[in-house]
Structure formats: C-alpha cells, structure tokens
Amino acid sequence: MNIVIIDYGMGNLRSVYNKFQRLGASCQISADPNVIAKAHALILPGVGHYGRAMDKLQRLNLIPILNERVLEARIPVMGICLGMQLLTEHSEEGDAAGLGWISGSTVRFEQKENKNLKIPHIGWNSVTATRQHPILDGLQPEEAFYFVHSYHVRLTNPNDALHRTHYRHDFVSAVQKDNILGFQYHPEKSQEAGVQLFQNFLASVKTPAYV
C-alpha cells in the first residue's frame, strides 16, 4: 500500500505526512507523475490560494495523471482544506477553474448580513453527518474538528455532502462521491477524531470497495 501526498507547493504537507507515518502507513510526498501513477491512494492537502494552486498543478503537468488515477483507475483520494476546494469546478478566489471532480463551486464567506463575522473561520467547530459512510466510523454524532479557512464549498448536488458545519450559517465541511473524499477541516490537527478519520481512510485503501 503506497499513499502519495501531492506536492504542489502549498502548505501542511509535512503535518499530513507525519500523521500517516505515525499510523504506520507507507507514504511519500511527491510531484513526480511516475510516482503518482503507482500510488494506491492520493492525498491532496493544501493551505493557500486556489488560483495559484491550480496554476501550480498545471505547470507541474499533474492534472492529466491525477485525472487518470482518480477518474479512471478510481483509487481513493482525500482532499484536505484547500485540497477539498480544488475538487470543485470553480472558485471565486482567483476566478479559477478547479479539478471538477465534485460538481459545485468554492465561495467566500458572506459578511453582508454578518458584519461581525470573523474571516477566516479559525478554531474548533462541530460537524454534523448528513448521511452514514464508513469513513465516519467511530466518530461522534457532533464530532469537533479544527478549521482554518475563508472560503467554503457550495455543492450542485447536496447528496455529495458528508458533513455540514454551522458558522453563522451552515456550510459543507466534508464531501464524498464514489472514491473521492474531501474535508474542509484539518484531520491532521484534530487529535483523536483526525486519527480515526485517517485510520478509516487507510482501511478504504486496503479494501477499495469500502469507499
């Protein structure tokens, strides 16, 4: 089992790598298409700017191999924070097209009706599952995770939502479609809940039908 964490110049790669290493998983950080082509699962982490992230993926020529592995080979993939947002079709941040694996867009938190709304949304917040899924096994009904973000995902198909969170208004905090998973929060910074989520993901890699 080989997990590849996609290195496209954005933040939090090392913290994700360290968490998987502590769980005994075989993983590596790479931007090499040949390495990605042999991966059993992919992690798309990230903290940064959506438009610049997509530009970097394009300049590294990673989008074709990512599409091949995720959409054709259908290996499990996990997007974290910016990585989840990149799964969508478009973002207001940089007015940029995304990977388009999840139908929807990435939009900034609205402050028009909430002048006191602090952006970015930083800190611990609870999540509510919208449906059952094995990736959520062992989590509490109102589990808390750690967030740092100014943008959130607005789905075209609400059935793709896995978690929702309230921050003055409800927003999608996790998505799942077939082999594609995305988490707006940071499992690698979320203590026991994050460990459980990563363990469940590792189980999905061992048994692909699990996702």
Verify whether residue 27 is a known catalytic residue: no
Show the tokens assigned to 136. Answer: 């959520």
3-state helix, strand, coil in the chain (%, to 5): 30, 30, 40
pLDDT attached to residue 120: 94
Residue 142 pLDDT? 92
Q: Which amino acid is at 165?
A: T
The closest alpha carbon to 128, from 172, 177, 65, 193, belongs to 172
Tell me whether residue 81 is one of the annotated catalytic residues. yes
The reported pLDDT for the residue numbered 192 is 96
Q: Domain holding 92: CATH number?
A: 3.40.50.880
Name the CA dihedral angle for 183, 153, 131, 45, rounded to a multiple of 10 degrees.
-10
Select which of 27, 40, 186, 192 is catalytic: 186
Query: What pLDDT is recorded for position 113?
Result: 63
pLDDT of residue 206: 78
| pLDDT score at 170 | 94
Q: Tell me which of 93, 149, 152, 188 is the catalytic residue.
A: 188
Number of domains in the chain: 1
The pLDDT of residue 110: 83
pLDDT, tens digit only, all 211 positions of the chain: 899 999 998 878 999 999 999 999 999 999 999 999 999 999 999 899 999 999 999 999 999 999 999 999 999 999 999 999 999 999 999 999 999 999 999 999 987 666 678 899 999 999 999 999 999 999 998 999 999 999 999 999 999 999 999 998 899 999 999 999 999 999 999 999 999 999 999 998 877 554 5
Residue-range definition of the domain harbouring residue 165: 3-210
Q: Is 68 a catalytic residue?
A: no
State the pLDDT at residue 41: 97
In angstroms, the CA 2 to CA 4 distance is 7
Q: Which of 27, 81, 121, 163 is catalytic?
A: 81
Q: Are 154 and 106 in contact (CB under 8 A)?
A: yes
What pTM did the predictor assign? 0.94
